[in-house]
Amino acid sequence: MRIEPLADHRQLIAEIAALLHAEWGDLAPWASRDEIERRFAGQASTGHAPFTLVALADSGELLGTASVKLFELPSHPDKAHWMGEVFIPRALRGRGIGSALVLACITQSRALDLPALYLYTPDQQALYERFGWQEIAREVVNDELVSIMVLALTETVPDDAACRGQEPEELDMEGVTS
């Protein structure tokens, strides 16, 4: 397996869009294959964020994808860099492909001197905690309760003091039920 920039494999954009639409098409960000394709075409870059990485078999078969995106959630305009669209086809899960993609995104983000990465997930907190991510909030995104998580890539994470250093009861959890 090798992990490479989507920029070097633009021919995979339609296939990625089809996979994401099939998996998450009932959620707004993935409801339109055309919109997914446009988004990935904009993320098919190198040397800066946003970027997308693809995991490929030696044969060239697509094994998975992960992206670092900009300003993913409108409710968090102070958080610039978000890892997302980490996707491995069901038949290929459990083989370490997702973990390899996550590590590659972290490595590339550090190389770009990004201060922190954020993500949101409804059910993969344990996976990301293994890599050092920390939950900083919970909220409803796309009609599901998710954890917002952060991974500091430098010694300090700029301007997220509203979430760091506070006890959970101090965080603004309005609209979140437990």
Task: Catalogue all structural domains in the chain, each as residue range(s) with its CATH number.
Answer: 2-114 (3.40.630.30)
Of 60, 110, 54, nearest to 87 by C-alpha is 54
DSSP 43-96: H--SSSSSEEEEEE-TT--EEEEEEEEES--TT-TT--EEEEEEE--GGGTTSS
- What is the reported pTM? 0.81
Full pLDDT tens readout for the chain, 178 residues: 999 999 999 999 999 999 999 998 887 788 899 999 999 998 888 889 999 999 999 999 999 999 999 998 888 999 999 999 999 999 999 999 999 999 999 999 999 999 999 999 998 899 899 999 999 999 999 888 999 999 999 854 444 333 333 222 222 222 222 2
